[in-house]
Chains A and B, each alone.
Chain A
Amino acid sequence: MSANKTGRRLSKQSLNGFINYGIVILAYLVVQLMISQGLMSNSLQSLLVPVCCYVVMAVSLNLVVGVSGELSLGHAGFMSLGAFSGIIVSVTLQSVIELAPLRLFLSMVVGAVIGGIGGVIVGVPVLRLRGDYLAIVTLAFGEIIKNIIMVLYVGVDEDGLHFATSEAALNLSEAGTAIVKGPMGAVGVVKASTFTAGILLVLLTLLIVQNMVNSRAGRAILALRDNRIAAESVGISVTKYKLMAFVTSAALAGAAGALFGLNYSSTLASRFDFNTSILILVFVVLGGLGNIRGSIIAAALLYILPEMLRNFDVSKYRMLIYAIILILVMLATNNPTIRGFFLQLRQRARERKGGQAQ
């Protein structure tokens, strides 16, 4: 490959990256403008923060599934870790730090750290496995995380944090509060999440993921995905690079979880189950494996549109339609005839463009 060609490819990649930042910033400005003009309904406004969360979830999962090529079925588990640790931090610091954005920031940092630690704990053993075995183990870890949080009680009083498996066993003093109450989840959370914080997290996620993909590590990860044995034989460490992608992804999911948890006054562990992991996986697959922009758009659209069209009275058939479309999309995108057709269209367009340039 000539140096010239490599340079062109890289610049195209970074251009792509800049377009992604542009899209996010533009979306932010448009939304702010609409809010200031009173053009945005309450229901749309309430979706802004969760959309940011799911975008971050989708982009970070794409790093594992699309870029690193490992199927993970437990991504919601890391979101859960982030959500609950973020909530605990926020409630604990409630009286110490008055400034909500700072509290949110600290919560997200802790959420990311806990998510990342979870990523290491899951990743080290899991990444020794391959393919479908890896998928089932991530599923298992996701379920274990959910199970444990569902029996965990956490409270805080002047002595610090208490952990137990029942409310009575927390032994809180009079002034103490129970933050997480097992199956009842976390209740009485003071909301701190804002759309601005969400957008900043999305931008940060893009910055991390895109730089990682375009870096030396990213190329190593791609090489491992495309041909593990060949990559290993030129001295690329499988564990190191796969773990790097996995832990980064888990940490970002943790931060998104903290943002999500602090956007509602109550959060249940059962929300972060296998179905949520699958939902995020669907965002990634429909947006295109390895395609960051696709993940952003798919997550945003698929999350907003159902809410926007609540007035259509087909609720009964909703999931059925979803299922059929899911199957049809998979069949269509993998159908050689249809793919050939679009490829041809594209080629023709390129030819025309080339002709004009000349």
Chain B
Amino acid sequence: MSSDLVMYEEEFQQIDEELQRLFQQANAKVVFLVDKNGQLIASAGDTHDIDTTSLASLTAGNIAATGGIARLLGEKEFTILFHEGEKDNIHISLIGQRVILVVIFDKRSSLGLVRLRVKKASETLVRIFNELTNKSDREKSEGKTEDSPFAEISDEDIDNLFK
């Protein structure tokens, strides 16, 4: 069973910085990082007009469907998807088998530039996510972390969610 994704402040900062860097260097409109299961992890750029939750879920669905096609063809995975629109384009890439990097850009940038910058950012992000996995495994094996929201969760807390 694959383990849960746990995000800590320190790694989140690093990811955020990397996304900001990519956003600027690739001249992008928006940059997203999405978990393979459709959860939005972080974003950079102007996300006000975008339904980021839906975008994350659909992107993951897209990657999942493409992965299904890949396996039918005997490929392990298609790691890059590119959709071209009239104004905006979207570049989707799978990073370290685990997270999906999404870059939305228009004519102020180019596919070549985006690909180049994405490649560079991917290397950094893979490293951060490896650290993250190690850290969460470590904390898990050491027992519950102090500020775990589950440490003292009661039935009442859960019931209160549904009032």
Q: Do A and B come from one complex?
A: no
